[in-house]
Amino acid sequence: MTESVIKDRELPDLSNEEIGRYSRHLLLAEVGIEGQKRLKAARVLIVGTGGLGAPLALYLAAAGVGALGIVDFDFVEESNLQRQVIHSTRDIGRPKVASAQDRIKNINPKIKINTYNIMLTSTNALDIMRDYDVVADGTDNYQTRYLVNDACVLLGIPNVYGSIFQFEGQASVFYAREGPCYRCLSPEPPPPGLVPSCAEGGVVGVLPGIVGTLQANEVIKLIVGGGDSLVGRLLLFDAWKMKFRELRLDKDPHCPVCGENPTIHELIDYEQFCGLKKNAGEEPVEIITAKELKERFDRNDPLQVIDIREPHERAIVKFPHARPIPLGQMARRIDEFDPALDAVFICKIGQRSVFAIRALREAGYTGRLLNLKDGVNAWAREVDTTLPVY
């Protein structure tokens, strides 16, 4: 049974209006008046107001959580609207925290909302998070995921975790006082570029709604108390096959942050930890802008243009003069390249193509390799505006 995180705190009374609003909760013996008072007293921080943060914020506001904090430094884009249901078309271009705040207030004007229109970093995370009872992680990158985990362990706060990719989602509760933390599951991040982001790999729109709602359910149980939480369990969901699986998670006694002899006692440089900072000896990747590439096309310069996208992605936007060679085939097809000609590599946003260039270098290729800065989307924005940005 989960013990409530709301302890040793005087609980607020419920007004007649609140009793009417939350009556369906009050009729549940597992929640009742006491549980709803705990929800009203609770303070929950949501990191990210994207696909996972949207259902988290909507359902926790509707449930009557007294204070919600939302952290996000991003702006609403049209491509967000396929899954980030807290934002609307008229919000395109607005800060996500401002858009989310308006939507939350429309659902429940009685709750308090704290907005942080900043990036969560090692320098501000502890100061922001220490005022909350629960943190819900709606992030989409490894450096913030490890940052949230470590800060929660250091502060003794439960971390309600969720992640999504394409058709698959995960959810758990990492609470070092009662079970494992995220580092017990993943001691090290994957190498940069090995796991594509949703922006590159895609995600079915309903998936973050399902996983984010599971997270909201775990937050409510932690506040109300009772029920079986996901502490020590990793819930796996496959939306395409419509299957749930569950894995047991054990606390790692050697975990550097929550183990028996922890070595991490303060927040670290998470970009460096995740391998996102350039190594001093690493050869930089040369870039070419969309406009510069267009000029070379206009001059009829001899070029090799390589499209590393998969067939289903090339069907969205076809790139002129490009030869398709998927990323996974790059090194073994090195003989198809002419070292005497400049080779330009393209992908959606200019990230995966960097790994294609490095793979060729490691395979011993000696010709000049150029990366199209910001990828096909830059070409659509700056050169051929008849093409869609995706």
Q: Work out the mean pLDDT of the chain and round it to a whole number.
A: 94
Q: List, as one string, the DSSP characters of 159-183.
A: EEEEEEEBTEEEEEEE-TTTS--HH
Supply the DSSP symbol for 265.
Answer: -
The structure's pTM equals 0.87
CA-nearest of 160, 263, 288 to 217 is: 160
**Residue 198 falls in the annotated catalytic set:** yes
168 bridge partner residues: 165, 238
Q: Please name the amino acid found at residue 46.
A: I
CA-nearest of 19, 70, 11 to 39 is: 11
Instruction: Determine the pLDDT at residue 284.
Output: 87
| Domain residue ranges in the chain | 16-273, 286-382
The CATH homologous superfamily of the domain defined by 16-273: NAD(P)-binding Rossmann-like Domain (3.40.50.720)
Instruction: Give the chain's residues under pLDDT 50.
Output: none
Catalytic-labelled residue, pool 152, 258, 274, 347: 347
**CA dist., res. 86 & res. 76, Å (int):** 10
Catalytic-labelled residue, pool 152, 181, 198, 255: 198
- Please determine, looking at this structure, whether the domain spanning 286-382 carries the CATH number 3.40.250.10: yes
Instruction: Determine the pLDDT at residue 280.
Output: 55
Distance of CA 122 to the CA centre of its chain: 17
**Residue 347 falls in the annotated catalytic set:** yes
Q: Please name the amino acid found at residue 17.
A: E
Q: For a pLDDT cut of 90, what percent of the chain falls above it? A: 85
- Residue 146 tokens, joined: 């490890």
